Amino acid sequence: MIPFEKAFDIVMNSCFRTGSETVPFEDSLGRVLAEDVKSDLDMPPFDKATMDGYACRRSDLEHSLKVIETIQAGGVPVKTPSVNECSAIMTGAMIPRGTDCVIPVEDVEMISPDIIRFKGSFVKENIAYKGEDIRKGDVVLRALREIKPQDIAVMATVGHVSVLVSKRPKVAVISSGDELVEPGYVPDISQIRNSNGSQLVAQVVRAGASAAYYGIAGDNVNVTFLILKKALSENDLVLISGGVSMGKFDFIPSVLERSGVRILFSRVAVQPGKPTTFGIHEKALVFGLPGNPVSSFIIFELMVRPLIAKMMQSSWQPEIVTLPLGSDYSRRVAERMAWLPVIITGEGTAEPVEYHGSGHISALPDADGIISVPVGKMNVGKGEPVKIRRI
């Protein structure tokens, strides 16, 4: 059994990159940007009005002004206002030469259809100047960020219609065990529904990778070997849950080795998740995850999700919040790092949820995150600061 920190380092040091590909920018949401995006023009591309009003000179505001034209957004000024003249202008329209402010419509008195007078006491410029937001050639988006809707708007603005992104790792999900049936079936008396398969697929998708579910491999060595062999040939990362403990039918490690996987560790000092197994194949990385659903969920979040992020060169980091513990916590054995699900209360404390162990998956939906208790620490007192890792 190796320390969690050492196991994590082994996993991360085994990472390989998935490469990059070009996709239409409209399809890039959630992808990891693999290049800097630069602007092909100044933004704004011209001096423009920031509100509806009248473009004029400040020096003329004490006088009545003649309206010489109306400039719509998308139009180009035809006339240049001279002394005591102005142009009616719409929001976003190009400012005519020689003017230095836009007076708002509500600050104007109409003397006649083409004569106005400024009735306000102060006026801002109300002009967005060419290039004040972006200069041509500026980097507007840095590589390695996860693309958000607002990033897509920026790419549209600068004409970056084809974008280089990291390829999504292909991740195979396999469940193991004769006791499992798929969720759409009613289990017999000795069976349970397979929650790990659906859970892990969802976690893979949330992590930004591409998930492929390979079904349930029963407690049959040859069947498991064939499914695993296919998954290894088609994916960058293989997750198989169950069959990695010490029972008579826990043969996954031996099947992994038969498949050409070099196992780097098979026991980790973490609770839940002790029987976590990890290895390297010539084509893929492989996790043998515990069969208990809380264990597989937590080990995915702690090890697999950071690995997927690194494969894509993503800058993703788990969200950590530090709050005081809401009540005393103690445990009987402290030889492993423990991870506990907690909720964040209205009083701003972290309160452990009712939790019956690694099979209690229904404890997780209400949890806001998980906290760790280090090896050797038996008690955490009420009020002691704890770091909550959001899940």
- For the domain that residue 110 is a member of, what is the CATH number? 2.170.190.11
Where among 281, 311, 341 does a domain terminate? 311
pLDDT of residue 177: 87
The position carrying tokens 């397979």 is 194
The predicted structure's pLDDT at residue 247: 52
194 with 254, same domain: the answer is yes
Same domain, 174 and 247: yes
- β 170-176/162-166 pair status: unpaired
- Token pair 């264990």 is found at 295
Say how many C-beta atoms besides its own lie within 10 A of residue 203's C-beta. 22
Whether 104 and 196 map to the same domain: the answer is no
In the prediction, which pLDDT does 250 show? 66
- 261 and 285 belong to one structural domain: yes
CA gap 356, 340 in Å, rounded: 11
| Token pair 């039918």: residue | 249
Residues 172, 270, single domain; the answer is yes
Are 103 and 186 part of one and the same domain? no
Q: Among the three residues 259, 285, 311, which one is the final residue of a domain in this structure?
A: 311
The CATH number of residue 139's host domain is 3.90.105.10
> Same domain for 25 and 150?
yes
- Read off the DSSP letter of residue 235: -
Residues 231, 174: contact at Cβ < 8 Å?
A: yes
Start-to-end C-alpha separation, the chain: 26
Domain of residue 140: give its range. 20-43+132-166
CATH code, domain with 386: 2.40.340.10
Looking at residue 150, its pLDDT comes to 98
Q: Are residues 63 and 8 in the same domain?
A: no
- Which residues face 54 on adjacent strands? 88, 103
- Give CA separation, 104 vs 72, 107, 129, 152, 367, in Å: 15, 5, 17, 32, 52
Considering the domain architecture, whether residues 153 and 291 belong to the same structural domain is answered as no
| Shared-domain flag, residues 291 and 207 | yes
* Amino acid present at 83: V
Residue 106 DSSP code: G
* Residues 215 and 348 placed together within one structural domain of the fold: no
Per-10-residue mean pLDDT of the chain, 391 residues long, equals 97 97 97 97 96 96 96 96 97 97 95 95 92 96 96 96 98 93 93 95 97 92 94 98 67 91 96 95 96 95 98 95 96 94 96 88 94 96 97 94
- What's 283's domain CATH number? 3.40.980.10
- What is the chain's mean pLDDT, rounded? 95
For residue 49, list its beta bridge partners: 127
Between CA 284 and CA 286 the distance in angstroms is 6
Q: Which of 80, 103, 128 is the last residue of a domain?
A: 128
The stretches of 72-195 forming alpha helices (DSSP H) are 149-157
Distance of CA 125 to the CA centre of its chain: 40
Tokens of 378: 């038996």
**pLDDT at residue 249, as a whole number:** 52
> How many structural domains is the chain composed of?
4
Q: Could you tell me if 177 and 303 lie in one domain?
A: yes
